[in-house]
Amino acid sequence: MIISFDIGGSAIKGGIAHSESDIVPLGRRPTPKDDFPAFVETLRSFIAEAGEQPSRIALSIAGVVDPDTQRLIVANIPCIHDRNLAADLETELGLPVLIANDADCFAMAEAELGAGRGHRIVFGAILGTGVGGGVVSDGRLINASGGFAGEWGHGPIIASQAGTPPVAIPAYSCGCGQKGCVDTVGGARGLERLHKTLHDLDFSSEEIIANWRNGEEKANRTIDVYVDLVASPLALAINITGATIVPVGGGLSNVEPLLAELDQAVRARILRKFDRPLVVRSECRIEPGLIGAALLGLKAEAA
């Protein structure tokens, strides 16, 4: 039996996994952001609630594991940032520990149980507050030992002009320290940033989407520029990985007409041509991080 965790900045969610078809949520507790002993005790409380000793635990975290040092880069949970968390938790809990990025866990969940079933290479894309991604090939996560594969949200590759007719786009500063990353325009905050740049209007992403769906001219322009900017780097990621399906998660994935626009633009820009949707809404709508972590833990047990 595996216990999986989805570690977020505000809450920790737990689950019990006996098999791929038997993953049961345990509930959620507040995340102790600044107190590592309290963080450990929170995990211990989930283990106690399970009623039996797990063979290992698996964690999905909104951060990156450095593959060289195994230390975490986690901006929103200071008590685990820059720790070799797996080693620390193994010492504290006396159990093997597996840690993966939340986008990687999302990709694994979609590859095994979601829209990626039956596909050899799955590129899971997150269009939420920001942009993330993960790659699964032949049922194996590319970032099995931690790493940065699939992080198409970062890197200075945003076009300097976009839309029809073209309009100049600034190289916005990104939280990663670079400028012009997909993350600066591709998520909900990026959509709002574009709308502000194009029209000098401070609208929420929900308002922009609603106006676009109602045919409002300024929102139409913003979505046109957004799709043009995001489609090219996503097409590049598909060309490089050879993915044959791109399940999309995050808040913007709920706007299916937007995904349809993005899918059409991406398919027009990739080398391999598909006569079916390629960029699709994810199917694991409930706790994909928890499910993906559980799947990774189960695979580790079977290895």
Q: What is the DSSP string of 198-254?
A: HH-----HHHHHHHHHTT-HHHHHHHHHHHHHHHHHHHHHHHHHT-SBEEEESGGGG
**pTM (two decimals):** 0.94
What digits encode the pLDDT tens for the residues 19-49? Answer: 988 988 899 999 999 999 999 999 999 999 9
Residues 99 and 125 in one domain: no
Same domain, 22 and 59: yes
pLDDT at 146: 83
- 233 and 87 co-located in one domain: no
Residue 145 is predicted with a pLDDT of: 81
- Can you give the residue range of the structural domain that contains 290? 2-104+286-302
pLDDT tier at 52, thresholds 50, 70, 90: confident
Whether residue 271 sits in one domain with residue 153? yes
Would residue 52 count as lying in a domain?
yes
CB 107 within 8 A of CB 135: yes
- Mean pLDDT is lowest, of 184-198, 223-237, 279-293, for 279-293
pLDDT (mean) for 202-209:
98
Instruction: CATH number of the domain at 94, please.
Output: 3.30.420.40
Q: What is the pLDDT of residues 102-158, one digit of tens each?
A: 999 999 999 999 999 999 999 999 999 999 999 999 999 998 888 889 999 998 899
Q: What percent of the chain has pLDDT over 70?
A: 100
**Among candidates 291, 290, 281, 287, which has minimal Cα distance to 124?**
281
Cα separation, 226 vs 144, in Å, equals 32
Domain shared by 192 and 293, yes or no: no
pLDDT value of position 51 = 86
Q: How many domains are there within the chain?
A: 2
Q: Could you read off the pLDDT of 214-237 as tens digits, one per residue? A: 999 999 999 999 999 999 999 999
Residue 74 sits in the same domain as residue 153: no
* 272 and 253 part of one domain: yes
Structural tokens at position 280: 């699709």
